[in-house]
Structure 1
């Protein structure tokens, strides 16, 4: 710790205003609806027509699951007119201490050492105010640290907004591409059924473009096979094959090849299970229906015993199936077929009966290219978000401990 940093008890950094909090039952809040934020442990939970506070303050969640999980910010700043219930500690920065700096300082701490209760974890006010923090004596230095970290937050927020935008585009695109498709002669979406009824026909899946047909997965598959079962003792760092488990999938249906475990197995016994480029791998337990397309690697891969390998014929683009499996229509069919249990199970044979609308191959390819372009943008933003969050985490550790000095 640098010489210009000092140990200060929280009670000397902030004034606690918990005594001014007033909880309002939901049925009462319904009668006093307004535009003023009503805060709880993790943020705004309602809006009312009156206020308790009208200043810059720090809220720190007092109780609830988030005290332990920290899935949401535990400490955050509020300003202007507001009402706070009794599930958040209300703190006001004392003279000589910057509110934003204190928010980062409080958010960076692990409170498990003072949490009481198991069913309902709670940060007791008395224990909280006795905590000791290292802080710079200089207000200007506190403000400089807060500015650096707030700049990181701004970048993170912009990236999260971009991700939200792309996800919204994805949902709209899925609906359009799998109900209207693309006119390959123009490269544009077909007009909707309401705009050009003559381009559509009735089917058991509703109105579909005249060029499409309704079929089953089974009609176009040439292979379908569960992964082999083998002993956990067969996993070996110097093995000859990797196994794709459900945990080796991203939620968007990408395979995390590097993290898949290696096993030493008799090649002659697993030969039918070895994946080829373009094979579909579908999870049948837990994340039932989650689908990825295998791309050739430097080592052989097989699917786990809780996944099925499907190989479609030359009339189907495998990526078309991957994206199709994320649509509402196919997800409904997945949910209808799941056998309920501890984790749920999707029989691989039921998947062969799934109904889908099949365009010609050239149109499938056009649809896939649209999705790939969007997913690449989405993945780039998600990758950037991960990097920014790690950067902020590192900066918080360095700047809030004085490990890295900042100029005033």
Structure 2
């Protein structure tokens, strides 16, 4: 179906109607910021960024009763679907379920379904599924934003309210599992941050126990209190040679189809390396940068943009090369590259990047500053023990993140099935409920 004809732009077995005929759409307003009396009262006031909370039980901003009366903000009872109306980022078209009484600014609409026709929770998932379509319906060729009039004209498939409710129930079950898994990830991150701080400042003794000042000797150092057995060294002193901390390829273009894979910041900082997606440089250019041919096991550091982002390279990158926006750090064999990786991305390591920066807004980090970074230096065996414990924390977090990602994939597939009618929830309903 084509939505130029006022129809839902995908096939489904149900009747449909425009949203304005089966729901109320309320767009808010903003009290004058020049009148202090309009603000910091008791009235919850939602801004467009709040839609990313997904389930809204409260919002951080308040206006006064006077601000409510002297603006276009309108209180709406729950439940309602909030949708971002403006913006070039992800906000425009993003939806959330509002479960408290509140008002909004002019960049958010609140939609309440007619309870006899449209289940509000079903509407949440229907509009979420149609995110790209809603953005394409925006006035001004997708640039100006959504409006009350545009939303009211959006056609909505209308199964029976009983089937709508069951569709929403099924999808909300998956949503709750995603939220619980995300909460577990956040908890793991908090625990991991604390443990990493302990591991990289107190270490693990020969018996496998975390040191404490009650049971072990410590000393002062440029990095704070550390075990008396540890040393402090500059990063450059831990590498094979002066050139073992170096820039990569200066001008990689033009890329070639069958060449040497080139690692860049976006390829190695945010997750597993997708080798088939890497840009490739000519063998001739690669031969000019033999010093940065990768072996696997090195540490790389971002030098532009957000400096100090760290990655540890797997063996699969052997023979690849490196872009100049990353620095290669290749420690000597007796020093654990995994220990070095964990320290550099830890709170202590990131403080060292900040300390060696020329300014808080610096967009570049030079090799001299990188070589001068202070690094704690346990003996090689303890480095390995700390790296193994840190790896285990990373693996636990990765396992939970993978479970969350699988749930998100499941939800996407279920939305495709249930919201198009490819798979019906009617077998889950009592026969008398099916209309």
Whether these two folds match at TM > 0.5 is yes
Q: Determine if the alignment matches structure 1 residue 39 to structure 2 residue 46.
A: yes
- Tell me the residue number matched to 1:100: 121
Segments of 5+ residues of structure 1 without an aligned counterpart are: none
293, 296, 299: which one aligns with 1:277: 296
The 1:73–1:213 alpha-carbon spacing in structure 2 relative to 1, beyond 3 Å, is: farther
Query: Structure 1 residues 341, 200: CA separation in 2 closer, same or farther (over 3 Å shift)?
Result: closer
Partner of 1:205: 223
Mapped to 2, the partners of 1:48 and 1:121 lie a distance apart of 27
Instruction: Map 1:87-236 onto structure 2 (within 5 A).
Output: 87-94=107-114, 95-109=116-130, 110-116=133-139, 121-136=144-159, 138-185=160-207, 187-191=208-212, 193=213, 195=214, 199-222=217-240, 223-229=244-250, 231-233=252-254, 235-236=255-256
* Partner SS state of residue 160, structure 1: helix
Q: Aligned pair in 2 of structure 1 residues 201, 283: CA closer, same or farther (>3 Å)?
A: same
| Higher deviation after alignment, 242-251 or 352-361 | 242-251
Match of 2:329 in 1: 310
- Please tell me whether the aligned partners of residues 295 and 318 of structure 2 are also in contact (alpha carbons under 8 angstroms): no
Distance between the aligned counterparts of 2:198 and 2:360, measured in 1?
Answer: 35
Relative to 1, partners in 2 of residues 1:48 and 1:358: Cα closer, same or farther, differing over 3 Å? same
Give the Cα separation in 1 of the matches to 2:290 and 2:146: 57
What secondary structure sits across from 2:383 in the alignment? helix
**Is the 8 Å Cα contact of residues 418 and 424 (structure 2) preserved in structure 1?**
yes
TM-score by length of 2: 0.79
Identify which of 78, 90, 100 aligns with 1:70: 90
Task: State the alpha-carbon separation in 2 of the partners of residues 264 and 330 from structure 1.
Answer: 35
CA apart distance, 1:48? 7.3
RMSD: 3.3
Change (3 A) 1:199 1:25: farther
What's the counterpart of residue 12 of structure 1?
21
Give the 3 Å change call, closer, same or farther, for CA 125–269 of structure 1 in structure 2. closer
* Cα deviation code 1:338-377 (max 9, x no counterpart): 5789982221232111112111111111111111111111
Q: Aligned with 1:297: secondary structure?
A: helix
SS class of match (1:324): helix
Structure 2 counterpart SS, 1:368: helix
Paired residues of 1:251 and 1:290 also in contact (CA < 8 A): no
The unaligned stretches of length 5 or more in structure 2 are: 1-9, 52-58, 66-73, 430-435
